Amino acid sequence: MASDWDYTYAVARIRVLETQLLSDSDVSSMIAMKDENAVLSFLKDKGWGDAVSGDDPVKVLEAEEKKIWKLMKELGVDFSVFNVLSYPNLYHNLKAAVKGVCTSEDSPSAFYADDRYGREEMMRILRDKDYSALPEHMRACAEEAYDTMLHSRDGQMCDIIIDRACLDAMEAEGKKSKDRIISDYAESVVDVTNIKVAVRAAKTKKSLEFLHKALAPCKAFDVRQLAQAASSGEDSLMDFLNSVGFSEAAEALKSSPSAFERWCDNQTIETIKPQKYQVCTVGPLVAYVLARENEIKTARIILTCKANGLPEEEIRERTREMYV
Protein backbone atom coordinates (compact mmCIF):
# COMPACT_ATOMS: atom_id res chain seq x y z
CA MET A 1 0.00 0.00 0.00
CA ALA A 2 1.34 3.41 -0.92
CA SER A 3 1.97 5.94 1.81
CA ASP A 4 -0.18 9.06 2.18
CA TRP A 5 2.61 11.18 0.70
CA ASP A 6 2.49 9.11 -2.49
CA TYR A 7 -0.97 10.52 -3.20
CA THR A 8 0.05 14.18 -3.20
CA TYR A 9 0.36 14.55 -6.98
CA ALA A 10 -2.71 12.41 -7.64
CA VAL A 11 -4.85 14.46 -5.26
CA ALA A 12 -3.63 17.71 -6.87
CA ARG A 13 -4.79 16.44 -10.25
CA ILE A 14 -8.10 15.27 -8.81
CA ARG A 15 -8.73 18.75 -7.42
CA VAL A 16 -8.51 20.15 -10.95
CA LEU A 17 -10.80 17.46 -12.33
CA GLU A 18 -13.36 18.04 -9.58
CA THR A 19 -14.11 21.41 -11.16
CA GLN A 20 -15.42 19.53 -14.20
CA LEU A 21 -17.89 17.39 -12.23
CA LEU A 22 -21.58 18.06 -12.65
CA SER A 23 -22.99 20.39 -10.02
CA ASP A 24 -26.51 20.49 -8.56
CA SER A 25 -27.04 23.53 -10.80
CA ASP A 26 -26.06 21.49 -13.87
CA VAL A 27 -28.51 18.78 -12.87
CA SER A 28 -31.30 21.34 -12.48
CA SER A 29 -30.52 22.70 -15.93
CA MET A 30 -30.62 19.22 -17.45
CA ILE A 31 -33.98 18.50 -15.81
CA ALA A 32 -35.42 21.69 -17.36
CA MET A 33 -34.22 20.83 -20.88
CA LYS A 34 -36.67 20.03 -23.65
CA ASP A 35 -35.76 16.45 -24.40
CA GLU A 36 -33.16 13.67 -24.33
CA ASN A 37 -31.21 15.14 -27.25
CA ALA A 38 -30.82 18.48 -25.47
CA VAL A 39 -29.48 16.74 -22.36
CA LEU A 40 -27.08 14.64 -24.41
CA SER A 41 -25.82 17.72 -26.25
CA PHE A 42 -25.24 19.45 -22.91
CA LEU A 43 -23.17 16.51 -21.66
CA LYS A 44 -21.15 16.28 -24.86
CA ASP A 45 -20.37 19.99 -24.64
CA LYS A 46 -18.86 19.19 -21.25
CA GLY A 47 -16.61 16.59 -22.83
CA TRP A 48 -18.69 13.47 -22.20
CA GLY A 49 -18.31 10.58 -24.64
CA ASP A 50 -15.50 9.79 -27.04
CA ALA A 51 -14.80 9.47 -30.75
CA VAL A 52 -16.83 6.29 -31.14
CA SER A 53 -19.81 6.97 -28.87
CA GLY A 54 -21.43 9.50 -31.20
CA ASP A 55 -24.98 10.43 -30.21
CA ASP A 56 -25.76 7.09 -28.57
CA PRO A 57 -26.59 7.85 -24.90
CA VAL A 58 -25.66 4.34 -23.77
CA LYS A 59 -22.24 4.51 -25.41
CA VAL A 60 -21.61 8.01 -24.10
CA LEU A 61 -22.22 6.85 -20.53
CA GLU A 62 -20.12 3.72 -21.06
CA ALA A 63 -17.28 5.92 -22.32
CA GLU A 64 -17.46 7.99 -19.13
CA GLU A 65 -17.31 4.88 -16.96
CA LYS A 66 -14.17 3.74 -18.76
CA LYS A 67 -12.57 7.17 -18.28
CA ILE A 68 -12.77 6.78 -14.50
CA TRP A 69 -10.55 3.72 -14.39
CA LYS A 70 -8.28 4.92 -17.17
CA LEU A 71 -7.55 7.97 -15.05
CA MET A 72 -6.82 5.89 -11.94
CA LYS A 73 -4.37 3.79 -13.95
CA GLU A 74 -2.67 6.93 -15.24
CA LEU A 75 -2.30 8.16 -11.67
CA GLY A 76 -0.67 4.89 -10.68
CA VAL A 77 -3.12 4.26 -7.84
CA ASP A 78 -2.88 0.98 -5.95
CA PHE A 79 -6.15 -0.59 -7.14
CA SER A 80 -6.55 -2.62 -3.95
CA VAL A 81 -7.97 0.52 -2.31
CA PHE A 82 -10.96 0.21 -4.64
CA ASN A 83 -11.74 -3.43 -3.73
CA VAL A 84 -14.73 -2.59 -1.59
CA LEU A 85 -16.25 -0.47 -4.39
CA SER A 86 -16.20 -3.47 -6.74
CA TYR A 87 -17.97 -5.91 -4.41
CA PRO A 88 -21.60 -5.11 -5.38
CA ASN A 89 -20.93 -5.73 -9.10
CA LEU A 90 -18.76 -8.75 -8.33
CA TYR A 91 -21.44 -10.42 -6.23
CA HIS A 92 -24.09 -9.47 -8.78
CA ASN A 93 -22.10 -11.38 -11.41
CA LEU A 94 -22.03 -14.37 -9.08
CA LYS A 95 -25.83 -14.27 -8.80
CA ALA A 96 -26.20 -14.07 -12.56
CA ALA A 97 -23.81 -17.00 -13.05
CA VAL A 98 -25.53 -19.21 -10.45
CA LYS A 99 -28.91 -18.66 -12.08
CA GLY A 100 -27.51 -19.01 -15.59
CA VAL A 101 -25.80 -22.33 -14.89
CA CYS A 102 -28.65 -23.82 -12.84
CA THR A 103 -31.43 -22.84 -15.25
CA SER A 104 -29.44 -23.08 -18.51
CA GLU A 105 -30.75 -19.63 -19.38
CA ASP A 106 -27.68 -17.66 -20.39
CA SER A 107 -28.21 -13.90 -20.32
CA PRO A 108 -25.03 -11.99 -21.22
CA SER A 109 -26.68 -8.62 -20.52
CA ALA A 110 -27.19 -9.66 -16.88
CA PHE A 111 -23.45 -9.36 -16.17
CA TYR A 112 -21.28 -6.37 -15.41
CA ALA A 113 -18.04 -6.11 -17.36
CA ASP A 114 -15.10 -7.31 -15.26
CA ASP A 115 -11.58 -8.12 -16.42
CA ARG A 116 -11.22 -10.96 -13.92
CA TYR A 117 -14.72 -12.15 -13.02
CA GLY A 118 -16.87 -11.35 -16.02
CA ARG A 119 -19.55 -13.57 -17.55
CA GLU A 120 -17.36 -16.26 -19.09
CA GLU A 121 -15.13 -16.81 -16.06
CA MET A 122 -18.00 -16.74 -13.57
CA MET A 123 -19.99 -19.23 -15.64
CA ARG A 124 -16.94 -21.50 -15.93
CA ILE A 125 -16.32 -21.41 -12.20
CA LEU A 126 -19.90 -22.43 -11.46
CA ARG A 127 -20.02 -25.14 -14.12
CA ASP A 128 -16.73 -26.65 -12.88
CA LYS A 129 -17.50 -25.95 -9.23
CA ASP A 130 -14.06 -24.39 -9.13
CA TYR A 131 -14.84 -22.24 -6.09
CA SER A 132 -11.17 -21.87 -5.22
CA ALA A 133 -10.84 -19.63 -8.29
CA LEU A 134 -13.02 -17.04 -6.53
CA PRO A 135 -11.83 -14.55 -3.93
CA GLU A 136 -11.85 -16.24 -0.53
CA HIS A 137 -14.71 -14.11 0.76
CA MET A 138 -17.00 -15.42 -2.03
CA ARG A 139 -16.31 -19.16 -1.95
CA ALA A 140 -18.67 -20.34 0.76
CA CYS A 141 -21.64 -18.32 -0.43
CA ALA A 142 -21.04 -19.36 -4.06
CA GLU A 143 -21.23 -23.03 -3.14
CA GLU A 144 -24.24 -22.54 -0.88
CA ALA A 145 -26.12 -20.44 -3.43
CA TYR A 146 -25.35 -22.91 -6.22
CA ASP A 147 -26.58 -25.90 -4.20
CA THR A 148 -29.69 -24.00 -3.11
CA MET A 149 -30.55 -22.95 -6.65
CA LEU A 150 -29.80 -26.38 -8.10
CA HIS A 151 -31.96 -28.30 -5.67
CA SER A 152 -34.78 -25.88 -4.86
CA ARG A 153 -34.81 -23.42 -7.79
CA ASP A 154 -35.42 -20.78 -5.14
CA GLY A 155 -34.01 -17.70 -6.83
CA GLN A 156 -34.95 -15.42 -3.96
CA MET A 157 -33.07 -17.54 -1.41
CA CYS A 158 -30.09 -17.57 -3.78
CA ASP A 159 -30.19 -13.77 -3.83
CA ILE A 160 -30.39 -13.58 -0.03
CA ILE A 161 -27.36 -15.81 0.42
CA ILE A 162 -25.22 -13.84 -2.01
CA ASP A 163 -26.43 -10.36 -1.04
CA ARG A 164 -25.82 -11.07 2.65
CA ALA A 165 -22.32 -12.39 1.87
CA CYS A 166 -21.61 -9.21 -0.09
CA LEU A 167 -22.58 -7.04 2.88
CA ASP A 168 -20.47 -9.15 5.24
CA ALA A 169 -17.49 -8.86 2.87
CA MET A 170 -17.87 -5.08 2.61
CA GLU A 171 -18.13 -4.74 6.36
CA ALA A 172 -15.00 -6.85 6.83
CA GLU A 173 -13.09 -4.86 4.19
CA GLY A 174 -14.07 -1.63 5.88
CA LYS A 175 -12.91 -2.87 9.27
CA LYS A 176 -9.47 -3.90 8.11
CA SER A 177 -8.83 -0.80 6.00
CA LYS A 178 -6.55 1.90 7.38
CA ASP A 179 -8.24 4.46 5.15
CA ARG A 180 -11.13 6.21 6.90
CA ILE A 181 -13.08 6.72 3.68
CA ILE A 182 -13.15 2.97 3.00
CA SER A 183 -14.45 2.14 6.46
CA ASP A 184 -16.99 4.98 6.36
CA TYR A 185 -18.18 4.01 2.89
CA ALA A 186 -18.52 0.33 3.79
CA GLU A 187 -20.46 1.15 6.96
CA SER A 188 -22.80 3.48 5.06
CA VAL A 189 -23.52 0.91 2.35
CA VAL A 190 -24.27 -1.83 4.90
CA ASP A 191 -26.53 0.49 6.94
CA VAL A 192 -28.48 1.70 3.92
CA THR A 193 -28.77 -1.74 2.32
CA ASN A 194 -30.12 -3.18 5.57
CA ILE A 195 -32.78 -0.47 5.59
CA LYS A 196 -33.66 -1.17 1.94
CA VAL A 197 -34.00 -4.89 2.67
CA ALA A 198 -36.19 -4.15 5.69
CA VAL A 199 -38.41 -1.82 3.66
CA ARG A 200 -38.98 -4.44 0.95
CA ALA A 201 -39.59 -7.12 3.58
CA ALA A 202 -42.15 -4.99 5.41
CA LYS A 203 -44.01 -4.24 2.18
CA THR A 204 -44.10 -7.90 1.17
CA LYS A 205 -44.74 -9.17 4.71
CA LYS A 206 -41.65 -11.36 4.97
CA SER A 207 -41.07 -13.47 8.04
CA LEU A 208 -38.71 -12.73 10.91
CA GLU A 209 -36.65 -15.76 9.83
CA PHE A 210 -36.23 -14.27 6.36
CA LEU A 211 -35.04 -10.98 7.82
CA HIS A 212 -32.51 -12.62 10.13
CA LYS A 213 -30.96 -14.33 7.11
CA ALA A 214 -30.97 -11.23 4.93
CA LEU A 215 -29.76 -8.51 7.31
CA ALA A 216 -26.08 -8.01 8.09
CA PRO A 217 -24.65 -6.77 11.41
CA CYS A 218 -23.87 -3.04 11.39
CA LYS A 219 -22.87 -0.22 13.75
CA ALA A 220 -25.76 2.16 13.22
CA PHE A 221 -28.45 0.03 14.86
CA ASP A 222 -29.27 -3.44 16.17
CA VAL A 223 -30.35 -5.46 13.13
CA ARG A 224 -32.33 -7.82 15.35
CA GLN A 225 -34.49 -4.87 16.37
CA LEU A 226 -34.69 -3.76 12.73
CA ALA A 227 -35.83 -7.26 11.76
CA GLN A 228 -38.46 -7.29 14.50
CA ALA A 229 -39.77 -3.89 13.43
CA ALA A 230 -39.93 -4.81 9.73
CA SER A 231 -41.69 -8.10 10.44
CA SER A 232 -44.30 -6.17 12.45
CA GLY A 233 -45.24 -3.97 9.49
CA GLU A 234 -44.45 -0.68 7.79
CA ASP A 235 -45.64 1.56 10.63
CA SER A 236 -43.44 -0.28 13.10
CA LEU A 237 -40.50 0.05 10.73
CA MET A 238 -41.09 3.81 10.38
CA ASP A 239 -41.10 4.17 14.16
CA PHE A 240 -37.85 2.25 14.41
CA LEU A 241 -36.10 4.37 11.77
CA ASN A 242 -37.17 7.55 13.55
CA SER A 243 -35.90 6.20 16.87
CA VAL A 244 -32.39 5.37 15.59
CA GLY A 245 -31.64 8.61 13.76
CA PHE A 246 -32.91 7.77 10.28
CA SER A 247 -35.93 10.05 10.23
CA GLU A 248 -34.98 11.35 6.77
CA ALA A 249 -35.28 7.80 5.43
CA ALA A 250 -38.71 7.50 7.01
CA GLU A 251 -39.81 10.82 5.51
CA ALA A 252 -38.56 9.77 2.06
CA LEU A 253 -40.48 6.51 2.34
CA LYS A 254 -43.65 8.42 3.13
CA SER A 255 -43.09 10.56 0.04
CA SER A 256 -42.53 7.89 -2.62
CA PRO A 257 -40.36 4.90 -3.60
CA SER A 258 -38.32 7.20 -5.88
CA ALA A 259 -37.67 9.64 -3.04
CA PHE A 260 -36.49 6.77 -0.85
CA GLU A 261 -34.09 5.47 -3.52
CA ARG A 262 -32.75 8.99 -3.89
CA TRP A 263 -32.17 9.20 -0.14
CA CYS A 264 -30.30 5.89 -0.22
CA ASP A 265 -27.92 7.02 -2.95
CA ASN A 266 -27.42 10.43 -1.37
CA GLN A 267 -25.99 8.78 1.74
CA THR A 268 -22.89 7.88 -0.26
CA ILE A 269 -22.37 11.52 -1.24
CA GLU A 270 -22.79 12.65 2.35
CA THR A 271 -20.21 10.07 3.41
CA ILE A 272 -17.56 11.22 0.92
CA LYS A 273 -18.03 15.01 1.10
CA PRO A 274 -15.43 15.46 3.89
CA GLN A 275 -12.80 14.25 1.39
CA LYS A 276 -12.97 17.63 -0.36
CA TYR A 277 -10.77 18.94 2.42
CA GLN A 278 -8.21 16.13 2.57
CA VAL A 279 -4.82 16.67 0.95
CA CYS A 280 -2.39 13.75 1.04
CA THR A 281 -4.52 10.62 1.42
CA VAL A 282 -6.26 8.20 -0.93
CA GLY A 283 -9.62 9.58 0.26
CA PRO A 284 -10.09 12.23 -2.45
CA LEU A 285 -9.39 9.64 -5.17
CA VAL A 286 -11.96 7.18 -3.81
CA ALA A 287 -14.40 10.06 -3.40
CA TYR A 288 -13.81 11.15 -6.99
CA VAL A 289 -14.56 7.66 -8.31
CA LEU A 290 -17.80 7.53 -6.31
CA ALA A 291 -18.71 11.07 -7.36
CA ARG A 292 -18.21 10.22 -11.03
CA GLU A 293 -20.27 7.04 -10.69
CA ASN A 294 -22.99 9.07 -9.01
CA GLU A 295 -23.12 11.72 -11.74
CA ILE A 296 -23.16 9.08 -14.48
CA LYS A 297 -26.06 7.36 -12.72
CA THR A 298 -27.87 10.69 -12.43
CA ALA A 299 -27.28 11.48 -16.12
CA ARG A 300 -28.65 8.03 -17.01
CA ILE A 301 -31.77 8.69 -14.93
CA ILE A 302 -32.39 12.07 -16.57
CA LEU A 303 -31.80 10.76 -20.10
CA THR A 304 -34.14 7.83 -19.51
CA CYS A 305 -36.82 10.04 -17.99
CA LYS A 306 -36.59 12.51 -20.89
CA ALA A 307 -36.79 9.65 -23.41
CA ASN A 308 -40.01 8.52 -21.70
CA GLY A 309 -41.52 11.98 -21.46
CA LEU A 310 -41.68 12.23 -17.67
CA PRO A 311 -42.50 15.67 -16.21
CA GLU A 312 -39.82 17.73 -14.47
CA GLU A 313 -41.30 17.14 -11.00
CA GLU A 314 -40.94 13.38 -11.31
CA ILE A 315 -37.42 13.62 -12.72
CA ARG A 316 -36.34 15.92 -9.90
CA GLU A 317 -37.54 13.40 -7.34
CA ARG A 318 -35.31 10.75 -8.91
CA THR A 319 -32.09 12.72 -9.33
CA ARG A 320 -29.20 12.44 -6.90
CA GLU A 321 -27.26 15.04 -4.94
CA MET A 322 -23.94 15.97 -6.54
CA TYR A 323 -20.54 15.96 -4.88
CA VAL A 324 -19.57 19.51 -5.85
CA triple 63-321-51, angle to 5 deg: 15
Helix or strand (DSSP H, E) at 231:
helix 223-231
In order along its 324 residues, the chain shows pLDDT tens digits of 445 557 888 999 999 999 999 999 999 999 999 999 999 999 999 999 999 999 999 999 999 999 999 999 999 988 888 999 999 999 999 999 999 999 888 788 899 988 899 999 999 999 999 999 999 999 999 999 999 999 999 999 999 999 999 999 999 999 999 889 999 999 999 999 999 999 999 999 999 999 999 999 999 999 999 999 999 999 999 999 999 999 999 999 999 999 999 999 999 999 999 999 888 889 999 999 999 999 999 999 999 999 999 999 999 999 999 998
Q: How far is CA 30 from the centre of its chain?
A: 23
Measured in degrees and rounded to the nearest 5, phi and psi for residue 212 equal -65, -35
Indicate the pTM of the whole model.
Answer: 0.90
Alpha-carbon distance of 77 to 151, in angstroms, equals 44
